[in-house]
Amino acid sequence: MRIAIAGSSGRMGRSLIECVLKDPGLKLSGALEQPGHALLGKDAGEFAGVATGVAVTSDFAAVLAQSDAIIDFTRPAGTLAHLDACLKAGRKMVIGTTGFSEAEKARIAQAAKKIAIMFAPNMAVGVNVTFKLAEIAARSLGDDYDVEIIEAHHRHKVDAPSGTALKLGEVVAAALGRDPAKVFAHGREGDTGERDPKEIAFHAIRGGDIVGEHTVMFAGMGERVEVTVRSSSRATYATGALRAVKFLKDKENGLYDMQDVLGLK
């Protein structure tokens, strides 16, 4: 498959390029950046001391013309612009961008009626297994356990809570039969009163170079169960994204997530 990478000079973009170059079943067909970016025209593998023959460009249409799929870990506005272009060109997308509104998620779902899209807040295999473990724990422990979700990321992350933390909350809420709009809470300060037993609370930590850590805490009377996943390298997200793009190879359309890719549904 011919794979293009959006946001190619970012931390995730570089990890994705390195992983694509190492995979004999994939070919790097494009490296995209915004107009005016300092690296436009440079070889996409220059950061790693590798000549790929693929120059960083902002010409999305030209890249799409020679690609089978695009992997996008950027920002919502950019991803949605790429989505429109992929829709017109009939190209597949793997979307790892987070921070979408409900209306924007609906746009992605609508586009998936015509093209194949793998959309997940976190592509790491271990994280997606954690989603399943959290679901099992919530169903087994039930309403007798309070749920708190703690996540930590590097100082440069711009959205909070992380998309992964929110997904964990959605998984737990579904398992417990709760409406996220009514039970999600974010942080605490001051005289908050007694905890609502139905509440699912989120706490975000930002600092240093933390790649990503997520814990779902089920706190009961006399015991505490914690499901935790810690990522020490962005390569886990990149390898998961490549597994996802291969999953889409024979798909004409449809909206999929990593649970589909891993056969966990």
Answer whether 44's CB lies under 8 Å from 8's CB: yes
Q: Which CATH number describes the domain made up of 125-231? A: 3.30.360.10
2-119+234-262: CATH topology: Rossmann fold (3.40.50)
Cα separation values, 265 from 111, 173, 196, 256, Å: 22, 17, 31, 11
| pLDDT tens track, the chain, 265 positions | 999 999 999 989 999 999 999 999 999 999 999 999 999 999 999 988 899 999 999 999 999 999 999 999 999 999 999 999 999 999 999 999 988 999 999 999 999 999 999 999 889 999 999 999 999 999 999 999 999 999 999 999 999 999 899 999 999 999 999 999 999 999 999 999 999 999 999 999 999 999 999 999 999 999 999 999 999 988 898 999 999 999 999 999 999 999 999 999 8
Active-site positions read 153, 157
**Are 2-119+234-262 and 125-231 the same fold in CATH?**
no
Q: Where are the domains of the chain?
A: 2-119+234-262, 125-231
Report d(CA 1, CA 111) in Å as an integer.
21
